[in-house]
């Protein structure tokens, strides 16, 4: 039996040492640190279990105090092990006992008292004593079981309570190793002479290692750097300890396209090279590769972050040599620190990721995450937009277009509206760009178009004095292949004539994009008509205007206001030129009678602005303009 125990202990020690060795390089990660503690305690228990059992056999030849010391040491480790298994369960469940020190202390006092009882055995013989026949169990031996069952029971309660924080696999693993511990405790009673508990505990440690310490969980692809999960852990830990930190992150611009150009293998090498460069050049920072060309460098706040940024940026001026290819890459940056006013680690990381997404769309430069509010607002807008689109809560308002001569209603522009969670209106100037970025603009455009078609179907436009309704078309919508098919099918389905709808396209949409031209041509052939929106706000290129089948030009509000404040000859000439070319002209942003008069005087055919009416909900529009 002894031989068996030696061999088994040797194997268990080796196994635990292996876990220790494999987990050590990542000892900065929160779960990992607890894991290392647990492994140390397990090693201590194994060794003292073996020593104490050995000397207990030969008790007659060993001084009594040695027998006490070795046995007491074993019990101290044995009991501590129960506590550390419980602690790692807390870490896995994202519970931080240090947040509630009183409760934490109370829970820890169980192991403390149990250990004191074990240590007192020297005087009291409570847990064990060395009698004439050597080692004997004492009357309070069951304290070992009480301590273990207390922590196991507590672990199960916590697992049950916080189970939603874990994935199925994690829940399975955490239940698994705790069950192994329960079985270990039961079998130990039945087979006290064998190293049962040690074997079961090592088994549990293996389960924890494989489920939660597996390098793949914390290291990015190809193991060149830590990954997102590791960054989250690390920042959570820094927050808990209130340690000032700073993260400088960057994204390789046009990562996906560049990958397409250089090929996956070369690009992977490039990413490796960047990680390697960062690791070697900035040893005091921890390097994370988040995904898709996004890197993060984490370090103490006191480091010269501006210089680090400059240095990294300078390195990006040079090519990255990957095999026989030279990769020319550029990066955009975002940074956040513990002084940026974020309340939690999760918020820090989520905002960093959003900032990186934004940085990837801007050319170079740096986004400082002090603009938390702005990012929060952006997230809120995105949420409100998705909700409005998914739940059919997108609202359409109509703003009248007035004939400048007769001053009567001739048309209306459909303008979309959504509401935030607080019920307040979010203006399109905020949500349209978000919709364009997230691709939701297609669904937004379709819903507005559908609502307008239904409005036309359900109302007598003539009775309202409307000859047509304008619908805005975003340049991004025109990038969708089935845009015209989709509009045409909505139109057919609602039985509306296309000449009652005008599509407004902004100037920047008038890019020389074949797809845009195809859409415009298809829609035109099917009876739609087009307006050029916001003329004068972007690139004003008359020849390009001519290239498209517009029938109407809408002067941008700024242009109208500029003219009204400083009446030079430029705008009247432009309006005249447009009119000679056969376009009708609309002036937007008319806010007073004087403006209405002066813009009519230079030849604008239609007027739109708050002076006549703000955009109104469909119902209000109908009641206001119903002639009946
Ligand atoms: P836009 O197409 O140029 O629409 C005119 C904007 O000017 C509207 O802002 C309108 O409320 C505002 N406006 C009208 N008269 C006055 C005035 O006298 N004074 C002032 N200060 N403003 C006036 P809104 O509704 O906030 O829309 C802003 C922009 O958002 C629109 O500019 C349009 O480009 C875009 N947009 C709105 N709805 C949609 C939509 O359904 N689809 C798309 N793609 N874009 C939309
Ligand atoms: Mg418009
Ligand atoms: Mg406009």
Three-state SS for 395-424 is EEEEEEEEECCCCCEEEEEEEEEEECCCCC
Q: Is 507 in the pocket of ligand 1 (CB under 6 A)?
A: no
**pLDDT above 60 (res 511):** no
State which of 396-400, 548-552, 554-558 shows the largest mean pLDDT.
396-400
Choice among 250-254, 524-528, 536-540, 562-566 with the minimum mean pLDDT: 536-540
**pTM of this prediction?**
0.51
The Å distance, Cα 474 to ligand 2 centre, comes to: 9
d(CA 133, CA 309): 72
State which of 163-172, 325-334, 420-429, 449-458 shows the largest mean pLDDT.
449-458
Ligand nearest to the CA of 504: 2
Domain match, 128 and 239 both: no
CATH code, domain carrying 424: 3.20.20.450
More confident residue, 38 or 94: 38
Q: Which of 371, 397, 419 is the last residue of a domain?
A: 371
Ligand 1, atom 8: closest residue by C-alpha: 415
Looking at the DSSP bridge assignments, the partners of residue 538 are none
Q: Specify the pLDDT at position 509.
A: 42
**pLDDT above 70 (res 390):** yes
Domain match, 363 and 406 both: no
Confidence category of residue 22, pLDDT binned at 50, 70, 90: low
Domain match, 406 and 356 both: no
Confidence category of residue 400, pLDDT binned at 50, 70, 90: very high
Choice among 332-336, 349-353, 560-564, 591-595 with the minimum mean pLDDT: 349-353
Q: Which domain holds residue 620?
A: 377-625
The Å distance, Cα 597 to ligand 2 centre, comes to: 22
More confident residue, 375 or 114: 114
Q: Specify the pLDDT at position 510.
A: 43
Domain match, 545 and 596 both: yes
Ligand nearest to the CA of 554: 3
Q: Is 533 in the pocket of ligand 1 (CB under 6 A)?
A: yes
Ligand nearest to the CA of 535: 3
* pLDDT per residue as tens digits for the range 142-170: 999 999 999 999 999 999 998 877 777 88
Ligand nearest to the CA of 586: 3
Domain match, 362 and 388 both: no
**pLDDT above 80 (res 69):** yes
- In the three-class reduction of DSSP (H, G, I as helix; E, B as strand; rest coil), residue 22 is classed as helix
Mean pLDDT of 593-609: 95
Looking at the DSSP bridge assignments, the partners of residue 289 are 295
Assigned domain for 597 exists:
yes
Domain match, 487 and 573 both: yes
Assigned domain for 223 exists:
no
Using DSSP bridges, classify how beta strands 468-473 and 409-419 pair: parallel, antiparallel or unpaired.
parallel
Ligand 1, atom 46: closest residue by C-alpha: 472
Q: Specify the pLDDT at position 224.
A: 67
Cα-trace Rg, the chain: 36
Q: Which of 389, 398, 425, 428 to mutate to test the pocket of ligand 1 (most atoms within 8 A of CB)?
A: 428
Domain match, 114 and 153 both: yes
Q: Is 111 in the pocket of ligand 1 (CB under 6 A)?
A: no
Q: Specify the pLDDT at position 506.
A: 83
Assigned domain for 515 exists:
yes
Percentage of the chain surpassing pLDDT 90? 45
Position in ligand 1 atom list of the atom nearest CA 473: 44
Choice among 28-32, 238-242, 287-291, 500-504 with the minimum mean pLDDT: 28-32
Assigned domain for 478 exists:
yes
CATH code, domain carrying 20: 1.20.1070.10
Q: Is 299 in the pocket of ligand 1 (CB under 6 A)?
A: no
Domain match, 32 and 79 both: yes
Q: Is 404 in the pocket of ligand 1 (CB under 6 A)?
A: no
Position in ligand 1 atom list of the atom nearest CA 397: 25
The tally of domains found in the chain comes to 3
- In the three-class reduction of DSSP (H, G, I as helix; E, B as strand; rest coil), residue 474 is classed as coil
The Å distance, Cα 534 to ligand 2 centre, comes to: 7
Q: Which of 371, 394, 415 is the last residue of a domain?
A: 371
Domain match, 382 and 336 both: no
Closest of 352, 357, 356 to residue 338, by C-alpha: 352
Mean pLDDT of 591-616: 95
CATH code, domain carrying 261: 3.30.70.270
Domain match, 457 and 318 both: no
Choice among 202-206, 518-522, 624-628 with the minimum mean pLDDT: 624-628
Percentage of the chain surpassing pLDDT 70? 89
Q: Which of 371, 402, 418 is the last residue of a domain?
A: 371
* pLDDT per residue as tens digits for the range 307-364: 999 999 999 988 888 767 788 888 999 988 888 777 788 888 888 887 888 777 766 6
d(CA 164, CA 156): 14
Ligand 1, atom 14: closest residue by C-alpha: 609
Looking at the DSSP bridge assignments, the partners of residue 529 are 502
* Structure-block tokens of residue 532: 């050029």
Q: Which of 472, 530, 592 to mutate to test the pocket of ligand 1 (most atoms within 8 A of CB)?
A: 472
- In the three-class reduction of DSSP (H, G, I as helix; E, B as strand; rest coil), residue 523 is classed as helix
Domain match, 447 and 576 both: yes
Q: Is 416 in the pocket of ligand 1 (CB under 6 A)?
A: yes
CB atoms within 10 A of CB 193: 8
* Structure-block tokens of residue 255: 């990562």
Q: Is 184 in the pocket of ligand 1 (CB under 6 A)?
A: no
Q: Specify the pLDDT at position 27.
A: 46
**What average pLDDT does the chain have?**
86
Q: Specify the pLDDT at position 327.
A: 86
**pLDDT above 70 (res 508):** no
Sheet holding 331-337, edge to edge: 286-291, 294-300, 245-252, 331-337, 366-368
Domain match, 204 and 240 both: no
Q: Is 610 in the pocket of ligand 1 (CB under 6 A)?
A: yes
Q: Are 448 and 396 in contact (CB under 8 A)?
A: yes
Q: Which of 400, 415, 471, 606 to mutate to test the pocket of ligand 1 (most atoms within 8 A of CB)?
A: 415
d(CA 189, CA 192): 6
Choice among 65-79, 145-159, 369-383, 428-442 with the minimum mean pLDDT: 369-383
Assigned domain for 222 exists:
no
């Amino acid at each position: 039996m002894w031989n068996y125990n030696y061999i088994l202990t040797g194997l268990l020690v080796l196994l635990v040492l292996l876990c220790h060795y494999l987990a050590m390089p990542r000892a900065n990660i929160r779960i990992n640190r607890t894991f290392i503690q647990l492994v140390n305690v397990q090693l201590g228990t194994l060794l003292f279990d073996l020593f104490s059992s050995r000397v207990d056999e030969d008790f007659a030849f060993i001084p009594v105090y040695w027998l006490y010391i070795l046995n007491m040491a074993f019990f101290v480790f044995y009991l501590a092990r129960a506590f550390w298994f419980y602690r790692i369960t807390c870490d896995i469940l994202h519970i931080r006992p240090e947040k509630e020190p009183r409760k934490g202390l109370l829970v820890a006092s169980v192991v403390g008292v149990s250990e004191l009882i074990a240590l007192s055995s020297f005087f009291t013989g409570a847990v064990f004593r060395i009698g004439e026949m050597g080692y004997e169990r004492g009357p309070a031996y069951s304290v070992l079981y009480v301590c273990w069952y207390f922590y196991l029971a507590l672990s199960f309660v916590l697992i049950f309570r916080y189970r939603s924080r874990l994935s199925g696999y994690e829940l399975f693993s955490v239940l698994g190793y705790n069950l192994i511990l329960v079985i270990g405790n039961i079998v130990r009673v039945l087979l006290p002479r064998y190293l049962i508990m040690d074997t079961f505990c090592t088994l549990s440690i293996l389960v924890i290692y494989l489920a939660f310490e597996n390098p793949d969980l914390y290291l990015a692809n190809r193991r060149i750097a830590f990954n997102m999960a590791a960054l989250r852990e690390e920042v959570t830990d820094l927050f808990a300890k209130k340690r000032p930190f700073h993260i400088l992150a960057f994204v390789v611009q046009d990562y996906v396209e560049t990958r397409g150009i250089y090929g996956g293998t070369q690009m992977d090498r490039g990413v490796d090279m960047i990680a390697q460069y960062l690791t070697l050049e900035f040893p005091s920072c921890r390097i994370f590769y988040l995904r898709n060309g996004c890197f993060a460098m984490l370090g103490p706040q006191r480091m010269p972050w501006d210089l680090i940024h400059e240095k990294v940026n300078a390195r990006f001026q040079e090519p990255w040599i990957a095999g026989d290819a030279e990769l020319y890459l550029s990066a955009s940056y975002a940074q956040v620190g513990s002084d940026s006013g974020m309340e939690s680690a999760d918020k820090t990381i989520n905002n960093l990721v959003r900032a990186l997404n934004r940085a990837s769309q801007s050319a170079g430069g740096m986004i400082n995450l002090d603009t938390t509010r702005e990012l929060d607002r952006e997230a809120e807008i995105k949420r409100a937009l998705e909700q409005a689109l998914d739940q059919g809560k997108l609202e359409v308002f109509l703003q009248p277009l007035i004939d400048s001569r007769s001053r009567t209603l001739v048309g209306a522009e459909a303008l979309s509206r959504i509401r935030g969670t607080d019920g307040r209106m979010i203006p399109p100037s905020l949500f349209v760009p978000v919709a364009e970025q997230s691709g939701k603009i297609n669904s937004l455009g379709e819903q507005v178009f559908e609502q307008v078609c239904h409005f036309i179907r359900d109302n007598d436009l003539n009775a309202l004095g409307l000859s047509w309704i304008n619908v805005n078309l975003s340049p991004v919508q025109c990038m969708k292949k089935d845009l015209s098919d989709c509009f045409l099918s909505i139109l057919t389905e609602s039985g509306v004539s296309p000449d009652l709808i005008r599509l407004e396209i902004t100037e920047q949409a008038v890019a020389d994009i074949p797809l845009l031209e195809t859409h415009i041509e298809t829609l035109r052939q099917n009876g739609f008509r087009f307006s050029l929106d916001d003329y004068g706000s972007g690139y004003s290129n008359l020849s390009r205007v001519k290239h498209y089948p517009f029938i109407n030009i809408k002067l941008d509000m700024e242009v109208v206001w500029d003219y009204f404040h400083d009446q030079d000859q430029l705008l009247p000439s432009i309006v005249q030129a447009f009119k000679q070319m056969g376009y009708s002209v609309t002036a937007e942003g008319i806010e007073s009678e004087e403006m209405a008069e002066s813009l009519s005087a230079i030849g604008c055919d239609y007027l739109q602005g708050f002076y006549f009416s703000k955009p109104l909900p469909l119902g209000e529009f109908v009641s206001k303009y119903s002639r009946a």
